[in-house]
Amino acid sequence: MAEVLLENVTVRYPIYGVGATSLRNQLINVGTGGLLSREGRTTVEVTALRDVSLRLTNGDRLGLVGHNGSGKTTLLKTIARIFEPTLGKITVTGRIATVFGLGTGALPDLSGYENIRRMSMLLGATFEEAEASIPDIEAFTELGNFLNVPIRTYSAGMTTRLLFAVATAVHPEVLVVDEVFGAGDVGFQTKARKRMAEFVERASIVILASHSSDILDQFCNRRIMLEHGQIVG
């Protein structure tokens, strides 16, 4: 059985080389971002997640909402083990696949094909499984010969096509998706929604961050709202 369990998870990022005195009074609240605090003379800390507890099991499709900087991506990256919690504990049972925006998981100097093989294997596929998934990824991405060139030359939407196709070509039990539907053209969005729908049927747990309530209505059966790194509803 797949499970995602977060127990009192806090994630803080230190930001070095910022004069703490340049921070204005913490009490002046801003609409976006986590909480900034002073940490010594030259370090500032952002608390991106504060004391988040959450349990997801088979069939849970969670939508994450919240303002820019509220902690959605940080929560997804913590579940994906890209970040370690500063405090608290996280347990994920089941094979996990992630789709993040540009720059996560893919190596810019490798070609599309090389990234497909590498990322598939990082997602737990065997060499044979990675090879077998290639025709499907070629068809979905429609990138043609661009799959032979380094992905640093891709546009944002082209990269999203590739990352989304790879993550959904393996069959994870836990799928983590961060805002992919916004990048990419209308053609991609239509295809991505269709593929996502098939995928959501098969995955045990889905966690999706999006600013589109339309997307969340279609794919999610639970929702949480984050505000300054805390669950508020």
Ligand X SMILES: Nc1ncnc2c1ncn2[C@@H]1O[C@H](COP(=O)(O)OP(=O)(O)OP(=O)(O)O)[C@@H](O)[C@H]1O
Instruction: Give the residues lining the site for ligand X (CB under 6 A).
Output: 13, 15, 33-34, 46, 48, 66, 68-74
- Residue number with the smallest Cβ distance to Mg ion: 73
Nearer to Mg ion, 72 or 161 (CB): 72
Nearer to Mg ion, 6 or 143 (CB): 6
The answer to whether 54 and 205 are in contact (CB under 8 A) is no
Binding-site partner at residue 46 among ligand X, Mg ion, none, CB < 5 to 8 Å by type: ligand X
Instruction: Kindly state whether residue 70 participates in binding Mg ion, applying the rule CB under 5 A.
Output: no
Q: Least Å distance between CB 145 and ligand X? A: 32
Binding-site partner at residue 168 among ligand X, Mg ion, none, CB < 5 to 8 Å by type: none
CA distances from residue 176 to 56, 63, 127, 197 in whole angstroms, order as listed: 12, 10, 23, 14
At position 10, the amino acid (one-letter code) is T
Instruction: Kindly state whether residue 73 participates in binding Mg ion, applying the rule CB under 5 A.
Output: yes
Binding-site partner at residue 70 among ligand X, Mg ion, none, CB < 5 to 8 Å by type: ligand X
Among the listed ranges 70-78, 155-163, 194-202, 218-226, the one in contact with Mg ion (CB under 5 A) is 70-78
Q: Least Å distance between CB 71 and ligand X? A: 4
Distance CA 173, CA 57 (A): 10
C-alpha R_g of the chain: 19
- Within 8 A by CB and 6+ apart from 210, the residues are 63, 64, 65, 179, 181, 182, 216
Q: Least Å distance between CB 75 and ligand X? A: 7
Binding-site partner at residue 94 among Mg ion, ligand X, none, CB < 5 to 8 Å by type: none
Nearer to ligand X, 73 or 98 (CB): 73
Distance CA 131, CA 64 (A): 33
CA angle 56, 58, 126 (to 5 degrees): 105
Among the listed ranges 69-77, 81-89, 197-205, 217-225, the one in contact with Mg ion (CB under 5 A) is 69-77
Among the listed ranges 71-79, 116-124, 135-143, 168-176, the one in contact with Mg ion (CB under 5 A) is 71-79
The answer to whether 100 and 77 are in contact (CB under 8 A) is yes
Distance CA 87, CA 183 (A): 33
Placement of tokens 């890209």 in the chain: 82
Among the listed ranges 15-23, 67-75, 81-89, 103-111, the one in contact with Mg ion (CB under 5 A) is 67-75
Sign of the CA dihedral 203, 206, 211, 215?
positive
Placement of tokens 């039990």 in the chain: 173
Q: Which spans of this chain sit near Mg ion (rule: CB under 5 A)?
A: 72-73
